[in-house]
Structure 1
Amino acid sequence: MKFFVVLFLSLLPLWAHAIEVGERVAPWTLLDQFDQAYTLDDQAQILLVARSMDAAKLVDAALQGQPKGYLQARHTVFVADIQRMPRLIAKLFAVPAMRAYNYRVMLDRDARIAPRYPGAVDKVLWLQLDNGTLVAQSEYSSAAELRQALEQVKP
């Protein structure tokens, strides 16, 4: 009996419904690198999702030289899926290093949020939102392309 329960629970994420263009994005709350809570609301216009360290490095490279508040001014929220990172490494090294960033990183420590938005692990997923509804999505594999896309967003 335990086997079937474990099997069911392990297959449950496969039945999770991925969001599609035209659908409303369900609100969620995550902590940032300073342990400050952020709840996704209708003010967010862009949601950037990085599922790996390589993807997060793309975001960091795209934001190099930008002033503090650059993402917030563009109503952009950055989510980093760090659930694959060993907790001790995250706690002692990675998250403290993120505190030096001049932008907020919403940390998905338990993969509760990032799996809702499927995409390539090595790319940054860009979700364009309008009053909480997904209107477009794209993926970026280079920091230069991501930076150019962010510069086109009016603050």
Structure 2
Amino acid sequence: MLNPKIRRFLNPTTLLLAALLSGSALALAAPPQPGQPLPELALKDQHDQPWTVSGDTKLVLFAAGRKASNLMQTVLTGQPAGFLASRQAVYLADMSSMPGFVTRTFALPALREMPFVVGVVLDEALLADWPRPDGAVALITLQNGRVNTVSHASTEASLRAALGLVP
């Protein structure tokens, strides 16, 4: 049994206040808004290496959910190493809704086989306000680090077009 003085300190209000003061609750990335700088993202890739969006990036492909991820995989499968970099594009995958066992056992090993780097989001709160079109990939175009447009691709053809792939 905890000492009553310690138990009083560990109440939810005190813990929330401590989290806010420590800055951990402020680590959430604001949604991308046209005209605003892309929120800074300091994540890991599928190889557990640091991943960020570089200043010369022109397109962020954000896949949240199974359908969007499958669409990305379909379009990117067979593309050569360096394909995304040659288009100044990055792929960001939100895997936070996936059970941890599935992520570690199947999803991440599959991504490690791909010839491109994928930024991986495992904390559901981190990008909770980012666009998540149902079954589609969010396309965030950038110009000099600022968000230019936010749209989506829900078909193979529209994603190929966004990546400059001709049929």
Query: Is 1:105 the counterpart of 2:118 in the alignment?
Result: yes
User: Which structure's CA Rg is the greater one?
Assistant: 2
Matched AA of 1:69: G
Q: Which moved more, 1:26-35 or 1:125-134?
A: 26-35
Counterpart in the other structure of 1:83:
96
**Counterpart secondary structure, 1:129:** strand
**Counterpart secondary structure, 1:146:** helix
Q: Conserved in 2, the CA contact under 8 Å of 1:51 and 1:114?
A: no
Q: 1:17 to 1:30 in 2, by over 3 A?
A: closer
Q: 1:5 to 1:119 in 2, by over 3 A?
A: farther
Q: Which moved more, 1:66-75 or 1:112-121?
A: 112-121
Matched AA of 1:23: Q
Query: Is 1:64 the counterpart of 2:88 in the alignment?
Result: no
Counterpart in the other structure of 1:140:
153
Query: Is 1:38 the counterpart of 2:51 in the alignment?
Result: yes
Displacement of 1:64 in angstroms is 2.5
- Tell me the TM-score normalised to structure 2 length: 0.77
Q: Conserved in 2, the CA contact under 8 Å of 1:27 and 1:41?
A: no
- Tell me the TM-score normalised to structure 1 length: 0.82
Unpaired runs of 5+ residues, structure 2, are 1-7, 20-24
Unpaired runs of 5+ residues, structure 1, are none
Structure 1's consecutive aligned runs of 4 or more residues displaced over 6 angstroms after TM superposition are 3-7
For the aligned residue pairs, the C-alpha RMSD in angstroms reads 2.7
Displacement of 1:131 in angstroms is 1.2
Displacement of 1:19 in angstroms is 2.8
